[in-house]
Structure 1
Amino acid sequence: MKLLFIADPLQSFKICKDTTFAMMRTAQQRTHTLTVCEVRHITWQRGSPVSAQVRDIQLTGDPIHWYAAEAQRSAMLADFDAVLMRKDPPFDSEYFYATHLLEQAERDGARVFNRPRALRDHPEKLAIMEFPQFIGPTLVTREAADIQRFHAEHQDIILKPLDGMGGMGIFRVGPDGLNLGSITETLNRHGAQSVMVQKFLPEIVEGDKRVLIIGGKPVPFCLARIPQGSEVRGNLAAGGKGVARPLSARDREIGEALGPVLHERGLLLTGIDVIGDCVTEINVTSPTCFQEIFDQTGCDAASLFIDALEAAVASLRR
C-alpha cells in the first residue's frame, strides 16, 4: 500500500518512543511505501481535489539519521491507499480546519484514518460524557458557582481545560478549597471558557492507564503512567513513569464496550485513559504508547495496527 502520514515535523520525532515511527517501521517491513507531510502542506483549490506537498521517505535503521527523504512533490490525497492523520494535539482551530480539508479529500476518494468527522465529533475530554456508566463524578461548566457546588459535594477535585494535552493546565483542589477561586478564574477566563471538573480518584497512585483500542478491540496490555514524587499527574509528558501491565477485568470490560462503538464511527485507533475503574479521557487524535508496551511486554501494537489498517483498506476497496 501507499501510505501518507500527516504528522509533526520528522525532525521532532523521538524515535525510541514515537508511536507514528513504530507504525512506519512496521509498514515498511511489510513493503508498504511511506510518504509524509505536515498539516500546513495540505491545500484545496477551487475545482481541484485536496492535495499536499509531500515527501517519499525510507527508514534507514540508523538511530540518528533515521530516514532518507526524496524531494518534495505535489500529490492528491486520494492517490494514496491510506492517509493516516497523526498530527499531535492541541486540537486548535487549524486542526479543526484540517479535518474539513481531509473530509473533502474523502469525498475525492481518499481513505483517512482516523476519519475526520470522527476526530471532530469526539473531543478527547468531552467524549467520555457519552458513557456515564464508566466515568466518575464529572461536571463541564463555565460557571464558578457550579464548580463551587461540585467541590462542596466531592471535597477533593480535579480541574482541567477541555483543550489541554500532556497534563497541561490540570489542578487539584483538596477539602480546604485553597485557591479554588483563582484556579477557576484562570481556567474559565472569568466565564468565557468551559472547564471539566472531576472527583479526584485516589487510584491515580497506581497509574493513569492507557488502554489502546485497535480495530474495535482492546490491546491485551495497557501502559500505566504513574505520577512521581508529589506530582498528581501521571502523563509521561509531565514526568510520569510508564509501566506496562496486562488489562484488568475492568479495563477489558471498558475496552470491549467502547471499542466496537468507536470503531463503527470511524476510529481505527483510540487510547482510553482509565484511573482505577473510571474512564477519564478518550484519545483519538494521535494515541501513543505502542513502543513502551512492546519494549516491556513484547506485545506488538504496531503490527496489530497495521493488520487493522490493511483490513480496513481492503474492506473499503470492495
Structure 2
Amino acid sequence: MTATLAIDLGGSKIAYGLLKNGSFIEKAEQPFRFFGDEKGLLEAIEIQVEKWRSYGITEIGIGSPGRINDGTIYSAVNLGYDLLPIQKKLEEAVQLPVYTENDATAALLGELVFGSLQGSSNAIFLTIGTGIGGGLVIDGKVYKGAANKAGEFGHYTYMRNGISCSCGKKGCWEMYASSKALIQMAIESASKDGMMAEFTDGAIESLNGKMFFKAVSSGDREAILILEQFTTYLADGIVDLLDILDVETVAVGGGISRTGLIDLVRNKVQSFHPTCNVQPASLGNDAGLYGAAVLSAYLSREAEHD
C-alpha cells in the first residue's frame, strides 16, 4: 500500500501531509527560514522524513515554486533557489523515490483528482493571491506547454500600456485582478472619513483583506464600489480566457475565493459564456498537498505519453 509524504514548499512555510487511501492521516507545518539556503532546506526535509518514517512512507511528492524539470528547481525567486537538484539530493539522502512538480501544477492536480475539477475534461484553475497563476486541463490532461510555462495567466496583457508589472510588461491582468491589486485599489480610493479608514485607525496603508471585506459586509459604499470594479476586472479576464479556450469549468482558488465574491464573478462571466461553471476551488490551502501526493502516478502517465 502506498503511503506518500506530500510536501508543499511556500515562501513563508513548508506544509507536510501523509496520504493513505486517498486521505491525509496526519499533517504538519514549519516556518520557511531557508531562503537561498539549499543545505538548510534539504536537512529540514530530511529531519521531517525521519519523523514520518514510522508511518511506512513509500515515496515523497514535492510541489515547489519555480520551473521544475527533471527534478531540478529553476528560478524559484521567492525561495531564493535556482538549479537546485532537489529530487536527486533527497533520494540520495533518504533512500526513497522523490517526485517533484511546480506548485501551481500540483494544486491543479489536487483539484482535478480530489476537488472541484473532478470529472472536468477541459478546465482552468486560477490561483488568486499576490499574483495570478494556475493551470489548464485539456481533454482530461494537464497542459504544461512547450517550455513548462503554461498557466501564467496573470501576465497576459489585460490593459495595454497599463500599470507596470514586476515582470517588465505593462497592464498585466494580475495588476488589476489579484488580491494585492484589490487592496491597492482600496488604499488608493478610500476616503479619510470612510469605514476602511476607521478600521485602520486612519492608517489606510495598513488596510488588509480582512478589514476590506469587513467593510463590504458592513455595507460600506466605498468598499462595495471597489469590489464591483475588482470583480469586473476578474470576470473580464476570465471571459477573455474562455473566448480562446472554451472550457467547461473555471475553479478559483486563493483566500479571495472564500469571500463570496465568486457569485458576482460567475454572473458577469455567464452573461458571455452561460454554460461555463465558475466556482470556488474546494481544497483551499491543501490543494498543493493533495497534488503532491499523487505526483508519482501523474508523472508516470506523462512519461508513458512522451
Give the structure with the larger strand fraction.
Answer: 1
Q: TM-score, normalised by structure 1?
A: 0.34
Q: TM-score, normalised by structure 2?
A: 0.35
Give the structure with the larger helix fraction.
Answer: 2
